[in-house]
A and B are shown apart, each in its own frame.
Chain A
């Protein structure tokens, strides 16, 4: 878990857009939340439904599940998803005994092709530092209680690995089609801050 993916250099255009946003916020023309909301809009239409399809297929097709756990990037590409930030996807399987949680402690590494852009809390210093130190507490604050006999594993994203959590299939979904199953998978469950 070394060699974090956080390019040192700030490209001029990136600095420029940051300046534009900062100046408009300072002037009261924009507020950060409004911009965040718009980003969320694109994020929701852009990403997690792709991951949900991957998870639903893994729940219904044992061979696909095996391929997904063996080589996440390749199995995800079978469904047509790939591209930047999707090069080294490692899929983490939740079980009755193990609950996985994903964080990027130094920046905001995230598997874009299957989850879209990260939510703001994922990029916030509080989550980035506390998820490693006190994961159970952070999860509880987010409404997810993990039983004491379940091991919580925290995974720090890096240039070598972008993590995607494979949640446990919820009970009561026995007769669901793959499409219906995709509908019950949430973004947060694929980051590991929620159990379905």
Chain B
């Protein structure tokens, strides 16, 4: 985890502390950080998509926009396709 600026202002903060409202949000955050690290991309590669995703639908909950941005990144990087993701969506929650 060397390349990623964790103090980046695009990370969700409340009084200076990072906050999650549910465990899946932490997974969403961590997967994004991991993908960016793994592909050796600048954090901006994700952040710009996040900004675009938020701008596209400003009232959408933050982590939903985050997830859209992450999906657009992994699809653009040819790591998967929307159809493959449709297929992989679980119907039940496994214990987190």
Chain A residues with CB under 8 Å of chain B are 6-8, 10-24, 27, 29-30, 34-39, 41-43, 45-46, 83-84, 106-108, 112, 117-118, 123, 125, 128
28 residue pairs bridging A and B, Cβ less than 8 Å apart: A12-B89, A13-B61, A13-B63, A14-B22, A15-B89, A17-B24, A17-B31, A20-B70, A20-B74, A22-B90, A23-B80, A23-B85, A24-B31, A24-B74, A24-B79, A30-B31, A30-B38, A36-B30, A38-B29, A38-B34, A41-B6, A42-B30, A45-B17, A84-B21, A84-B22, A106-B95, A107-B95, A112-B20
A-B CB contacts (within 8 Å), total count = 122
Q: How far is the CA of A189 from the CA of B95 in the complex (A)?
A: 23
Contacts of B33 in A (CB 8 A): 38
Convert B64-83 into 0s and 1s, putting 1 for each residue whose CB lies closer than 8 angstroms to a CB of A: 10010011001000011000
Q: How far is the CA of A38 from the CA of B6 in the complex (A)?
A: 10
Q: How far is the CA of A101 from the CA of B6 in the complex (A)?
A: 33
Closest-by-CB residue of B relative to A43 is B26
Closest-by-CB residue of A relative to B28 is A17
Distance to closest chain B CB from A124 (angstroms): 8
Contacts of B20 in A (CB 8 A): 42, 46, 112, 117
Contacts of A106 in B (CB 8 A): 95
Interface SS of chain A: helix, strand, loop or mixed? helix
- B84 contacts chain A at the CB level, 8 A cutoff: yes
The reply to whether B80 and A16 contact each other, CB–CB distance below 8 Å, is: no
Contacts of B80 in A (CB 8 A): 20, 23-24, 27
Contacts of A112 in B (CB 8 A): 20
The reply to whether B31 and A20 contact each other, CB–CB distance below 8 Å, is: yes
Interface SS of chain B: helix, strand, loop or mixed? helix
Which 6 A-B pairs have CB atoms at the shortest separation, nearest pair first?
A38-B30, A19-B88, A15-B89, A14-B24, A19-B89, A17-B28
Q: How far is the CA of A27 from the CA of B39 in the complex (A)?
A: 13
Contacts of B79 in A (CB 8 A): 23-24, 27, 29
The reply to whether B95 and A13 contact each other, CB–CB distance below 8 Å, is: no
The reply to whether A6 and B95 contact each other, CB–CB distance below 8 Å, is: yes
Q: How far is the CA of A34 from the CA of B4 in the complex (A)?
A: 14
Interchain CB contact (< 8 A) of A42 among B18, B34, B74, B93 = B18
Q: How far is the CA of A88 from the CA of B74 in the complex (A)?
A: 39
Distance to closest chain B CB from A39 (angstroms): 5
Q: How far is the CA of A42 from the CA of B4 in the complex (A)?
A: 13
The reply to whether A17 and B95 contact each other, CB–CB distance below 8 Å, is: no
Given contacts A27-B80, A30-B31, contact A22 B93 (CB under 8 A): no
Closest-by-CB residue of A relative to B21 is A84
